[in-house]
Each structure stands twice: as structure tokens, then as C-alpha cells.
Amino acid sequence: MVSIHIDIKTRILPAAHRVYVVRPGAHYRLYDEVKAQNAILYDLPGLELPEGVAFRQVEDIAAQIQRGQALKWWHRVGRHAGDDQPSMDLANYPYPVSPSERRSLSQLLSIGSAYFEKARVGDLVVVPPLRFADPVLVGEIAEQEPVETTVPAYGDLPVLGRRVRWLAEMPKKDVPARIIEISQKPNSFVLLERSTATWFYDRTYRSYVLNGEYQCELRVGAENFGSTDDMRLSAFLNFVVANMAALETHNVPQSIGAAVFANLGEYEPGKRISINSPGEIIVHALKLSPLLFVALLGLSGCAPAEVNAAIADGTVTFGNSAALPGDPCAAAVFKSTVDWLTFVGADLWAEACPIASSALNSAEVELPAVVNVVP
């Protein structure tokens, strides 16, 4: 008995998901520590945050920030000049009087609030480097509670931040110029508008869902991606979507030949191709069709008889290693795939499989989903 498991590896992003640009310390000097320690770090040493108390509600937070500024300056300049280390007694840091000091405190309070209050688990952070030789880091905030560490710049003084799971590295030259400009501003923790954030979604998650839109990326490895492979993949995409529409609207199944010319109406997916040998094909839609398309592409590499037998025996399973616990997406794709294959039938599926698999092999396509077959 053959069993087939498909990992759709699709990140389901909440509607309130955010992307932040975070500068790794003044003059980017904490970049190496941020990368190595898997954490974005608030560049003020000596902070102490009581557990369960919001950043701005910490009773002595203004004094702590001023002390942190003094310690930061001393480690950078003062100690080399022979100055005494600033006092650790918070009583020596009254609320500032001058307008410039108040503005500075207000800005640091705002940055601290972004670090420890506004940024949520799962939000993306983009960390630019100073040098073009170093990559831009992109990762997800992994824990709600602050992480405490030390960095060489501040000796044994604690530095607080947020734990991050790095997902991608990108050449600095390829990142939109606006991101680099943002990282050079005084504010070191900046929320990106959705239009710019989408650029990072597309390059961090190969398959994701956001605000009801589904998107998947197929990576093309072949140096010569021609019109024949493109036509085959497009035909198979139409085959999938046309029969998804037929199933949901109670019509009859369509062959891959008929589906090529079908009017898909509201089911029509979008497709973006960037083939620079290698390159990518991005399929997106307001319906589940991109995920179904990828799942069926993965199955097209199996013998049709094996797929049909596994469907009949109930030995096809789906998972989603990219999702948070409790995510229902894998179950939805599983149901859609089984329903679709049952609706289309063995003959039409067997006719279409060679077209899809030949395109996958010829174009050296890497799917975002992983299919494992156990005889």
C-alpha cells in the first residue's frame, strides 16, 4: 500500500501582520551580534524590564533610558578618555529639562515601545548592514518576552532585545533603496507600509496567504526556460483551475486540452514570471487555487495509478511545516486535492500528468511544497 505525504509549507499571515526595518545599533555596529545571537537588540545597555509590565509603564523607564545613554556614551568615548563610569543609581538621572533632551528621550521611548510592545511574535524584521558585502537579514520575531544578552561594545552590561528566527538573507544592492534610506534615519525601528512590505513577503515566503490572497512561487533552475515549458505549466494551471471551478459550480470535468481555452472568470489566477535563468514563476489568486496547483504539480511526478490508489485507500496526508499550531490551511488543501482528484477522475488525471511532469523536469522546477512517497 502506497502512502503519500505532502507538506505544503505555506505561511499563513494574520491581517495585522507587520514588517519592520530595524537598524542594528548606532552606526550598524551591532550587526554581527544581531546575526550571531539570533536577536534584534535595543542599543541601550543596562536596561531592566520587570516581567509582565509594558515598556512605557515601567516606573523608572525614563531614568533607565538616560542612564543607558550615559553608559553607551562612556563605553564609546568616555572610558577611552579616562572618565569615570557613569553612576548606576537611577536617582542621579532626573527627568530632563531642556527641549532637546526631552525630544531625545521621547524618541528612545518610542523605539523601546516598538521593540517590546508593538512588535508581535511572527512579525518580520529587516536588518540592513553597513557594508554592501554583508547581506540584509530578514527574520520573524520568535518570542514575546525580551531576551537579555551581552555584547563586546558594553562589557558585562546587559542588553535587551527580541529573539528572531532568521528566514532569508538578501544582497544589499538588491533591496529597494527606500529601505536603506529608512535605516539611516534617526528612528531605528520603522514600520513599513504594506506596498513595500509585500516586496519582502514575496522574497521571504515561497508560499503564503495574506488578507485572503494565496500566493506560491515556483523556482526555475534551467538556464533555458522556453515557451514550451511555459505553455505546459500554463496548461496544467488552467486544467487545475478550470476543474476547481467546475467542481464548485456543479459542472462537468474538463480535459487539459479543453481547459486551456476555458473562460475562468472569477477563478482566473494571476501569474508573474521573472526568468533570468534561473528565475521564478509566481501564481496568486483570491481562491485556494495556487496551493492546489502546487500540490497537484507535486503529485504529477508520481505514477497516476499510485495516486489513485492512495486516494482510494485514504493514505494521502497533508501537513504544513511553515504554519503556526492550529492552522487549518493544510486540512483545506487536503480536502480540495482529494475532492478535485475524485471529481476529475483517473483518465483525465493520467492524461495531464505527463504534461506537468515533463515541464517540471525540463525547466528544473523546484516547488514550495514537498511530496514524499512511501511504497
Q: How confident is the model at residue 38 (pLDDT cuts 50, 70, 90)?
A: very high
Residues 6+ apart with CB under 8 A from 123: 17, 18, 19, 20, 140, 141
Structure confidence at residue 185 (pLDDT): 85
- As a whole number, mean pLDDT of residues 178-193 equals 90
Q: 316: part of which helix (H) or strand (E)?
A: strand 316-319
Q: 21: part of which helix (H) or strand (E)?
A: strand 19-22
Q: How confident is the model at residue 80 (pLDDT cuts 50, 70, 90)?
A: low
Structure confidence at residue 374 (pLDDT): 86
DSSP assignments along 345-361, one per residue = -HHHHHHHHHHHHHHHH
- How far is residue 294's CA from residue 356's CA, in Å, rounded to a whole number? 11
Structure confidence at residue 195 (pLDDT): 87
Residue 108 sits at φ, ψ, to 5 deg, of -70, -35
Express each pLDDT in 253-286 by its tens digit: 999 999 999 999 999 999 998 876 578 999 999 9
Express each pLDDT in 82-104 by its tens digit: 678 899 999 999 988 899 999 99
- How far is residue 229's CA from residue 355's CA, in Å, rounded to a whole number? 9
Residues 6+ apart with CB under 8 A from 78: 85, 86
Q: How confident is the model at residue 214 (pLDDT cuts 50, 70, 90)?
A: very high
Express each pLDDT in 125-150 by its tens digit: 999 999 999 999 999 999 999 999 99
Structure confidence at residue 274 (pLDDT): 83
Structure confidence at residue 81 (pLDDT): 66
The model's pTM is: 0.88
Burial 270-298 (b: 16+ CB within 10 A, else e): ebeeebeebebbbbbbebbbbbbbbbbbb
Q: How confident is the model at residue 236 (pLDDT cuts 50, 70, 90)?
A: very high
Round the average pLDDT of the chain to a whole number and report it: 93
Express each pLDDT in 325-356 by its tens digit: 778 899 999 999 999 999 999 999 999 999 99
Residues 6+ apart with CB under 8 A from 140: 121, 122, 123, 124, 125, 164, 165, 167
Bridge partners (DSSP) of residue 365 are 220
What single-letter DSSP state applies at residue 207? E
Listed by start position, the domains of the chain span: 3-12+212-374, 19-191
Residues 6+ apart with CB under 8 A from 322: 8, 9, 10, 11, 205, 207
Structure confidence at residue 327 (pLDDT): 81
Structure confidence at residue 277 (pLDDT): 58
- How far is residue 272's CA from residue 366's CA, in Å, rounded to a whole number? 16
Q: How many C-beta atoms lie closer than 10 Å to residue 330's C-beta?
A: 22
Where are any strands of DSSP class E within 101-239?
124-127, 135-141, 147-149, 159-171, 189-191, 207-210, 213-220
Percent of the chain with pLDDT over 90: 82
| Distance (Å) of CA 24 to CA 70, 127, 184, 188 | 19, 7, 11, 8
